[in-house]
Amino acid sequence: MLNFCTLFNINYLSRGLAMYESLKKHCCDFHLYIFPFDDKCLNVLQKMNLEHVTLISMSEFEDSELLRVKPSRTPVEYCWTCTSSTILYVIEKYAVKNCTYVDADIYFFGPPEELISEMGRTNKSVLITRHRYAPEHDRVETSGIYCVQFMTFKNNGLGMKVLRWWREACLEWCYAYCEDGKLGDQKYLDDWPSRFEGICDIEHLGGGVAPWNASLYDIFEKNKKVVGRDISTGKEFNVIFYHFQGLKFFRDGSLQFTGSEYKLSKYLRELVYWPYIKHIELMKRAVLKIDGSSDPHGPQEPSERRGPAVWETIKNIYRRKYYGNYNIYYDIEFKGLMRLTTWHI
């Protein structure tokens, strides 16, 4: 059995639920340990009584070391600080043979076993995934070679050595700015292949398709699967998961994709983005039936939506059309299943 863990608060609950349901669809034998980071999120999840899920409250999870550094971290920084500790908690508390951390805003389009099996074939103990930045979006210097989005640790000597080192490093320093080659919990991973034994630098291109590398691939449907083709080599691969970074929701019902520099093809939008948006909207409805006091999208006020002045908008439209880049807004109508009413570029 594969074991997964994730963490999120009420503002990411719809994403976390969609991730769980996509995992349930594509993984035959799994258990997911969820760390709800506020009471509202915990209460809703308790009422939902999800299959193959164990909920771990903050009162159970937080130890003296985490509580010591918590006042010095922003909410985002504290989540980053806790990532390694959630994995360690699951392995030690439940004595599982392996644990894979997954970000709440990833979504599975294929079986994660295809990724984790690389560890078995190479006899490694820790699996990490690269950003694989497209050249025009390269942020290795600031954000790191690897992405803390999907990471597997085996419960053995090598795996636990790396995990405990990472936890101690994050307790000492984990902030949302660059300093001495560090950034949050992520830049620590850069030298793991040389620092530690047993690191599996995953080769499967379907492990971590994201806005920052999507321009490297042609995305299409084949045999009812979402498939990618590496433009430079022609190699085809099953998309296992997509990382939906940069989606923001607003209280007027609109959605903004903030990464205006990223190129999203027509098929990527239709086969990847649109199914995901439909799914998280359905998850939002399910949550609101249980507790209507909080929006599980974590929406912001429309006034906070980033947007240039009128003439700048017109200029950006032509610029983005020329370069094939998109800044996406959705206006969503709730009539049965949603329908897309506007796609601004």
Euclidean distance between CA atoms 154 and 160, whole angstroms: 7
Tokens 């984990």, residue located = 174
Q: Which residues contact 96 (CB under 8 A, 6 or more apart)?
A: 3, 31, 90, 155
Quick one: pLDDT at residue 118?
95
Q: Quick one: which of 67, 85, 69 has its CA closest to 165? A: 85
Q: Quick one: which of 140, 187, 193, 136 has its CA closest to 162? A: 193
Q: What's the half-sphere exposure (Cβ side, CA atoms, 13 Å) at 126?
A: 25
Q: 13 with 46: CB under 8 angstroms?
A: no
Alpha helices in the chain (DSSP H): 13-26, 39-48, 58-61, 64-69, 75-94, 113-122, 140-143, 157-172, 192-195, 266-268, 274-290, 310-323
N-term to C-term CA, the chain: 44
Find the radius of gyration of the CA atoms of the chain.
20
Q: Quick one: which of 131, 102, 128, 126 has its CA closest to 26? A: 102
Quick one: pLDDT at residue 259?
58
Quick one: pLDDT at residue 250?
78
- Tens digit of pLDDT at every position of the chain (345 positions): 999 999 999 999 999 999 999 999 999 899 999 999 999 999 999 999 999 999 999 999 999 999 999 999 999 999 999 999 999 999 999 999 999 999 999 999 999 999 999 998 989 999 999 999 999 899 999 999 999 999 999 999 999 999 999 999 999 999 999 999 999 999 999 999 999 999 999 999 999 999 999 999 999 999 999 999 999 999 999 999 999 988 888 777 777 665 556 777 889 989 999 899 999 999 999 999 999 888 899 877 766 655 544 454 455 555 555 555 544 444 444 333 333 333 333
Q: Would you call 310 exposed, middle or buried from its count of C-beta atoms within 10 A (0-12, 13-18, 19+)?
A: exposed
Euclidean distance between CA atoms 114 and 229, whole angstroms: 17
Assessment of whether the complete model's pTM goes beyond 0.75: yes
Q: Would you call 273 exposed, middle or buried from its count of C-beta atoms within 10 A (0-12, 13-18, 19+)?
A: buried
- Which two three-digit tokens encode residue 263? 């190129």
Q: Which residues contact 180 (CB under 8 A, 6 or more apart)?
A: none
